[in-house]
Amino acid sequence: MKLVLFSALILLSLEAVFSATPLLFQHPLDPLTKEEIKDVQTIVQKKYPTSSNRLSFHYIGLDEPQKDAILKWESIKPTIITVPRKAFAIAIINSITHEIVIDLKVRRIVSDNVHNGNGFPTLSVDEQSVAIELPKKYGPFLESVKKRGLNLSEVVCSTFTSGWFGETINRRTVRVECFMKENTPNIWVRPISGLTIVVDLELMKIVEYHDGGIIPVPTDDNTEYRLSHQNPPFSPKQKSQATHQPEGPGFKISGHSVSWANWKFHIGFDPRAGVVISLASIYDSEKHKSRRVLYKGYISELFVPYQDPTDDFYYKTFFDAGEFGFGLSTVPLVPNRDCPSNAQFLDTYVHQADGSPLLIEKAVCVFEQYGNIMWRHTETGIPGQPFAESRTEVNLVVRTIVTVGNYDNIIDWEFKASGSIKPAIALSGILEIKGVDIKHKNEIKSDQHGTLVSANSIGVYHDHFYIYHLDLDIDGVSNSFEKTNLKTVRVTDGSSKRKSYWTTVSETAKNENDAKIILGSSPGELSVVNPNKKTAVGNDVGYRLIPAIPAHPLLTNDDWPQIRGAFTDFNVWVTPYNRTEKWAGGLYVDHSHGDDTLAVWTKKNRDIENKDIVLWHVVGIHHVPAQEDFPIMPLLSTAFELRPTNFFERNPVLKTPSPKDAPWPGCSN
Ligand SMILES: *[C@@H]1O[C@H](CO)[C@@H](O)[C@H](O)[C@H]1NC(C)=O
Ligand SMILES: *[C@@H]1O[C@H](CO)[C@@H](O)[C@H](O)[C@H]1NC(C)=O
Ligand SMILES: [Cu+2]
C-alpha cells in the first residue's frame, strides 16, 4: 500500500529547504497553494475590510497564464519561473459581484471589475450550510412538519439551484428541499415532497414558502446501503483483489507533473473544473522527440435537467460545475476502494467562502491498470510454424470523484502507450426521488415523470450532459478539423460484379458552423489534424475523436433550461482558441439567461482552419431510472477516445514489451 501525500510532502520539503523562495519549483499551471489562497484572502480583505464590508469568495483559482507564455516556458524550462503568477477571484462584496485579478508575485490587485450581466457566481459551500438550517426555525415549515407527523430532529435539508424561467427579478435565490434521516442515512430517497422553500442568499432568509399538501414520505425500508448495517443473507463473497507491483509503479509524479511510459502531462486542479489535464505530450521513439497532443482538457460543464414539469421539480435544471463547482465538490478518495492499492494520491486546496484555504486530502489518484490486450496475432498461416504474439496493455488512469448532493461522478482520464487518451465518466450515488401517493404501478393514472422504483418513490427522468473542453494541439498549435464521411457509391458502368461499395470523402471545416456536429445521422470520422505536418507517406498527422454513444437533448429549443444549456445542441463543436471561452454554459451559470454559452460564441462563425482550435465534446446519458438504481445505483458509465490517426509512422507500441510477470508473494512457483 503506497499512500503518498504528494503535494503535502513537496510543500513541506520546499518550505524546509527554500523557505525564502517557495515558488522555485512551481509549474506555472500548478493549482494555487495553501499560501497563495491565503494571500488572495489577505490582499482582497485589505481593500475590502470585513469590518465594514460583507465579503464572500465564490471562486479563487489560478488566473491562467497566456498560452504562448506557457508554451515558451515549456520549451526552455527555466528553473526560475518567468511566467506571471496570478490568481483570479470572484467575490460578492456587499451583494455586488467582483472579478478580481491578483498578482501573487508583487502581492497586489491588478484589476477589480464589477460583473453587471446576467447570472450569479458559483454558490459557496458555507452559504448553503447556513441556508439549509433556515427551515427548521421557520414557523410555517414547523407547521408543515407537525401536520405530517414528522420528527423535526430527524429532518435534514439541502440546497438546489433554481434555474431561470424568463423572469426579470434578479435575486440570488436557491431552493431548499428537506428529507428524513430517521433510521437511514439515505436521505435522498426520503423527501418531504410538496413543499416550496425559496431562500434569498443575500438576505439569508426564506422569501417564499408554500405547502402543496401532504404526500407520504417514502419509508426507510430497504434504503440502507452501508455494509456494516446490512443483515443476512449476503451475496457471494468476492475473493481478494490483485494489484501487485514488486518493482514499484511505472510512473513518476513530481509536484503535479506526471511521466509514465511515453507520456508526460500535468495535473492541475480548479475549484470549478476539478481536474485539469495540461501539456500532454507523447514521446515518439522513431522521431526521438516529444510531440504535443493535448494542451488542456477538462470538463467545462455538467447539465442535469430533470423532466418533471410539476411544481416540485420543474426548476431542477442543474449546472453542477458552474453552480456548485466540480473542484469544490471533489471528495477524498477511499484508498483500495475508489482507487486500487497501487494508486498514488494528490492532495489539493480549495477556498472557503471567507477566502481561507481548505485541504481536500486524496483529491486525485493516479494508478496503472492491467488486464487488457494491447495487440495480438496468432499466425496459423505458415504451415508447421504456428505462433502467437500477444502484448499486455498497461494503462495509466487519473481519477477524481465529484459528489454533488446525491450523485457521484467518477471522472477518469486514461492514457494508453498506443497514444490514445480515453476520458471516462461513471455515475453512482443515489437517484433524485419524488415522493408520491402511489404504492404500485397499477395505481398510476397520469404521467409520473419517472419510474416507480419503490413504494411511494418515483425516480424522476433526467439527463446528464457533460461537456469536455479539449484544446488539442496536434504536434503544434495550428490545427484543422476534418470530417471524413463514408459514402455509398453505386457501380453503374458494369466495371465490377459489385453493385456498390463505400468510400471516404474528406472535408476540412472552414468555420465554426461547419464543425457543429450531430452524431449518429451518418457514418464518418471526426479528426483534428495538423495540416502543416505530414507522415512520410504524406498523410496529415492527426487525432481522431471516437465519440461516446451520442445523446441529444429532447427539450425544445425555446425552453428556458435548453437556452441555458444550449451547448448540448450539438455533440461536437470546434472554436478558435480564446482564453476567456472556458465555461460552455457561461461564467455565471446560476440563474443564467443563456447569453454566454458556447452556442452564443459560435454565432460569430469564426474561421477555424489551420488555427489554434478547441474541440468540445458533449457526453450525455438519458437516465430512465430502474429499480436496480435503488437504493443506490451501480456504476453507469460512458467514455470516448482521442486516438492517434496517422500521427505515428506505424504502430507506436510495436516494440513495447509486455510487463514482466510478477511472482506472487507467498507463492513458490
Ligand atoms: C425525534 O428524534 C430524536 C433524535 O433522533 C429522538 O431523540 C427523539 O426520541 C425523537 N422523538 C420522537 C417523538 O420520536
Ligand atoms: C474571446 O471571447 C470573448 C467571449 O466570447 C469575446 O468577447 C472576445 O471578443 C473573444 N476574443 C477574440 C479575439 O475573438
Ligand atoms: Cu442519473
Cis amide prior to 531 (ω within 30 degrees): no
pLDDT tens-digit profile of 334-385? Answer: 999 999 999 999 999 999 999 999 999 999 999 999 989 999 999 999 999 9
Residue pair 489/496 in contact by the 8 Å Cβ criterion: no
Pocket of ligand 1 contains residue 151 by CB under 6 Å: yes
Mean pLDDT of 95-123: 97
Whose CA is closest to atom 1 on ligand 2? 578
Residue 521 has pLDDT above 90, yes or no: no
pLDDT (average), residues 19-38: 79
What percentage of the chain's residues is helix, strand, coil (to nearest 5)? 15, 40, 45
State mean pLDDT over 633-661: 96
In the predicted structure, residue 13 carries a pLDDT above the cut 50:
no
- How large a percentage of the chain has pLDDT more than 90? 89
Q: Find out whether 601 and 468 touch, Cβ atoms under 8 Å.
A: no
- pLDDT computed for residue 667 by the predictor: 66
Structure confidence at residue 478 (pLDDT): 98
Convert 538-577 to b/e letters by CB count within 10 Å (16 or more is b). Answer: eebbbbbbebbebbbbebeeebbbbbbbbbbbbbbbbbbb
pTM of the predicted protein model: 0.94
- pLDDT for residue 21 is more than 80: no
Q: Are 511 and 606 in contact (CB under 8 A)?
A: yes
Task: State the pLDDT confidence band at 240, using cuts at 50, 70 and 90.
Answer: confident
Q: How far apart are CA 650 and CA 225, in angstroms?
A: 50
Is the distance from CB of 215 to CB of 330 less than 8 angstroms?
A: no
The ligand minimizing its distance to the Cα of 583 is 2
CB 6 within 8 A of CB 347: yes
User: What integer pLDDT is reported at residue 522 of this predicted model?
Assistant: 85
603 CB within 6 A, ligand 2: no
Phi, psi of 551 (to 5 degrees): -125, 135
Whether ligand 2 lies within 6 angstroms of the CB of 583 is answered as: no
Lowest model confidence (mean pLDDT) among 25-29, 162-166, 457-461, 665-669:
665-669
Name the closest-CA residue to atom 14, ligand 2: 578
Classified as helix, coil or strand, 136 is helix
User: With contact defined as beta carbons under 8 Å apart, do 184 and 177 qualify?
Assistant: no
Q: Residue 310, SS3? A: coil
Reply yes or no on whether the pLDDT at 294 is more than 80: yes
- Span 215-227, pLDDT tens digits: 999 999 999 999 9
pLDDT for 414-469, tens place per residue?
A: 999 999 999 999 999 999 999 999 999 999 999 999 999 999 999 999 999 999 99
Kindly tell me if the per-residue pLDDT of 618 is higher than 90. Answer: yes
Tens of pLDDT, residue by residue over 467-511, are: 999 999 999 999 999 999 999 999 999 999 999 999 999 999 999
What cell does 487 get? Answer: 459514402
Mutating to test ligand 2, I would choose from 66, 471, 573, 578 the residue with most ligand atoms within 8 A of its C-beta, which is 578
Residue-wise pLDDT for 113-127, tens only, equals 999 999 999 999 999
Amino acid present at 119: G
Q: Indicate whether residue 596 lines ligand 2 (CB < 6 A).
A: no
The span from the CA of 597 to the CA of 457, in Å, is: 35
Structural contact between residues 481 and 516, judged by C-beta atoms closer than 8 angstroms: no
Residue nearest to atom 7 of ligand 1 (CA): 153
DSSP SS3 for 528: strand
**Per-residue confidence at 247, pLDDT binned at 50, 70, 90?**
confident
Please check whether residue 396 is in contact with residue 366, taking contact to mean a CB–CB distance below 8 angstroms.
yes
pLDDT at 20 over 70: no
Q: How many CA atoms lie within 13 A of 317 on its CB side?
A: 27
Q: Check residue 80 and give its pLDDT.
A: 65
Domains of the chain listed by start with CATH number: 31-114 (3.10.450.40), 125-225 (3.10.450.40), 251-663 (2.70.98.20)
User: What's the pLDDT score for residue 396?
Assistant: 98
Q: What is the pLDDT of residue 65?
A: 95
> Annotated active-site positions, please?
320, 407
Cα-to-centroid distance, 204 and ligand 3 (Å) = 30
Contact 339, 367 (CB under 8 A): yes
Taking the centre of ligand 1 as the mean of its atom positions, its distance from the CA of residue 290, in whole angstroms, is 64
153 C-beta closer than 6 A to ligand 1: yes
C-alpha cell at 244: 501487485
Residue 162 has φ and ψ, to the nearest 5°, of -105, 5
Q: Which atom of ligand 1 lies at the shortest distance from residue 154's CA? A: 2
**What pLDDT does 371 receive?**
84
With bands split at pLDDT 50, 70 and 90, how would you rate the model's confidence at 238? confident
Mean pLDDT, the chain, integer: 94
In this predicted structure, the answer to whether residue 8 has a pLDDT above a threshold of 90 is: no
Peptide bond into 631 cis (omega under 30): yes
Q: Where are the beta strands (DSSP E) in 405-499?
A: 407-416, 421-429, 433-435, 450-454, 457-460, 462-472, 478-490
At residue 53, the 3 state secondary structure works out as coil
Across 311-315, 513-517, 597-601, least confident range: 311-315
Dump pLDDT digits (tens) for 183-206: 999 999 999 999 999 999 999 999
For residue 12, what pLDDT is reported? 38
